[in-house]
Amino acid sequence: MSPGGHLVTTAVACVGAATLTESWAVTTAVAAGGFFIDLDHAADYVLFERNRALTPDAFLRHYVEGRMRWAVLVLHSYELFALLGLIAWWTGSLWLTAYLWGASLHLALDLTFNGEVTPKSIVAFYSFAYRLAHGFDARRLLGRDFAPAPTAFWSAFFRGGRAAGAPSAPLLARTWPPSKPSC
């Protein structure tokens, strides 16, 4: 899903969390899980890609246009979710539970909408062990070329990455369920 899509859905989830719990801590944790989970992209960008173009536009285009070489993405992993879930259960941490709620929303949206750019196995891709077994090699894991990003920052932010040759239909005009890639 696009960063803009995550921002909008997380904002809605935060309004719901604030309304239901009247807790800033819970609302902040939902925001951390729903949107700020993507900070692992920034870590990959700086630490593994060794990219020093630290502008929002350069960072966004790096991902939207599929230029990444590495896909470590520590925060996007079932294994971490399971560990954090056990810790939340063991400690009774409301903050960690709320973080996991937001992060689960994020992951569910990624699984639903990122299949176009992760055709090999969208479900397996979110396993840290699977990415490790593939050497975190983004080309092996993604296996696709990406379409160029729109020139305007906000258009790219809300559109997200697209496989080269994919239709650029608006999100609401797409069919459900998403079509399976032909192999």
Q: Of 85-94, 121-130, 150-159, 172-181, which range is least confident? A: 172-181
Distance, in Å, from the CA atom of 40 to the CA atom of 131, rounded to the nearest integer, reads 14
What letter represents residue 14's amino acid?
Answer: C
Q: Tokens 């896909």 correspond to what residue?
A: 71
Q: Is residue 173 part of a domain?
A: no
Distance, in Å, from the CA atom of 61 to the CA atom of 160, rounded to the nearest integer, reads 9
Q: What are the pLDDT digits (tens) for 134-158? A: 999 988 888 767 777 778 888 778 8
- Which domain, by its residues, includes 97? 3-162
Q: Is residue 101 part of a domain?
A: yes
Model pTM above 0.85: no
Number of folded domains in the chain?
Answer: 1
